[in-house]
């Protein structure tokens, strides 16, 4: 893996972020809008009889972390779609650029974009709704890493599908993570799910990450068991996603689809 090639992929997307208002909107506008909407909802909850401030904190914390996960998964797939929309894919892979170098560059630039969006969302939650996530940030960072790794696995999987089936399924870039939202226990605990769905939820790193987040915000300390379960599942899903991506890439190249993708 050559650092200059990885840097070239990062630079290519950095130029686009700077010049493309849509990318700035995805990076900052939607995370901030989510916090504003959920912030008003938590104000309503806090003013209701019997509703405590802890619920508001859980919802705002979940909104920040889910926004990071969703944005990272989406941007991994959309970053690849950019190459199809601009008809640049064949130019990239006619060079010595390796698939691993391309993915590495895309991962790094998307980490910066997601961090910028999450920081803006956290500052809005602090300034407008008195929810300060920063004192507990060290305990939450491991769960953020869990979510980023799972978002990476989903992004790689989705990109593999797009490699094989082109823009016919590009809607998955925005919708795939949303399919997991109901069983990821983002805004409610695992106990709220029907019993048959709990087994499915335990198989998702997102469930462990958000259960761990709620324990941290409730003052229960760092949930090591949830972190390690999520990390193990992340590793499994990433290996499977990488194998799938390689399979789709080689299949597309063998069938001559790389020059036909559009």
DSSP H helix total and E strand total for the chain = 11, 0
Of 3, 24, 2, nearest in space to 13 by CA: 24
Burial (CB count within 10 angstroms: exposed 0-12, middle 13-18, buried 19+), residue 160: buried
Q: Is there a contact between 55 and 68 (Cβ–Cβ < 8 Å)?
A: no
**pLDDT exceeds cutoff 60 at 186:** yes
Of 160-169, 202-211, 213-222, 239-248, which range is least confident? 160-169
Interacting residues of 176 by C-beta distance below 8 A, sequence separation 6+: 73, 77, 154, 158
Place of tokens 């972190």: 227
Structure tokens at 129: 């709704």
- Position 168 scores a pLDDT of 65
The CA-CA-CA angle for residues 114, 91, 20, to 5°, reads 35
Q: Residue range 10-37: average pLDDT?
A: 66
The tally of CA atoms less than 13 A away on the side-chain side of residue 73 is 28
- Compute the Cα dihedral for 190, 32, 156, 140 and give only its sign: negative
Alpha-carbon distance 203 to 243, whole Å? 20
Residues in the chain: 262
This prediction has a pTM of 0.77
End-to-end CA distance of the chain: 27
Of 12, 17, 151, 141, nearest in space to 71 by CA: 151
- Position 48 scores a pLDDT of 56
How far, in Å, are 104, 137, 173 from residue 16 at the CA level? 17, 30, 18
- Position 2 scores a pLDDT of 72
Residue 132: pLDDT band (50, 70, 90) is confident
Of 239, 231, 203, 61, nearest in space to 146 by CA: 231
- Position 157 scores a pLDDT of 87
């Amino acid at each position: 893996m050559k650092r200059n090639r990885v840097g070239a992929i990062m630079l290519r997307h950095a130029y686009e972020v700077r010049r493309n208002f849509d990318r700035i909107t995805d990076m900052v506008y939607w995370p901030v809008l989510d916090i504003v909407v959920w912030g008003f909802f938590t104000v309503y909850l806090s003013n209701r009889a019997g509703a405590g401030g802890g619920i508001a904190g859980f919802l705002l914390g979940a909104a920040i972390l889910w926004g990071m996960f969703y944005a990272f998964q989406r941007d991994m797939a959309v970053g690849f779609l950019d190459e199809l929309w601009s008809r640049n894919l064949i130019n990239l892979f006619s060079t010595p650029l390796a698939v691993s170098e391309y993915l590495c560059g895309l991962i790094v630039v998307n980490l910066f974009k997601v961090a910028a969006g999450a920081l803006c969302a956290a500052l809005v939650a602090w300034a407008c709704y008195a929810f300060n996530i920063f004192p507990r940030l060290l305990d939450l960072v491991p769960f953020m890493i869990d979510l980023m790794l799972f978002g990476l696995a989903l992004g790689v999987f989705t990109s593999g599908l797009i490699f094989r089936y082109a823009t016919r399924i590009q809607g998955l870039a925005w919708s795939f993570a949303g399919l997991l939202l109901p069983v990821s226990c983002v805004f409610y605990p695992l106990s709220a799910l029907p019993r048959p769905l709990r087994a499915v939820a335990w198989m998702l790193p997102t469930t462990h990450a958000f259960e761990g987040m709620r324990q941290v915000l409730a003052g229960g300390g760092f949930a090591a068991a949830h972190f390690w379960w999520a990390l193990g599942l992340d590793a499994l899903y990433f290996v499977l996603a990488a194998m799938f991506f390689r399979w789709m890439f080689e299949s597309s190249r063998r069938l001559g689809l790389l020059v036909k993708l559009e």
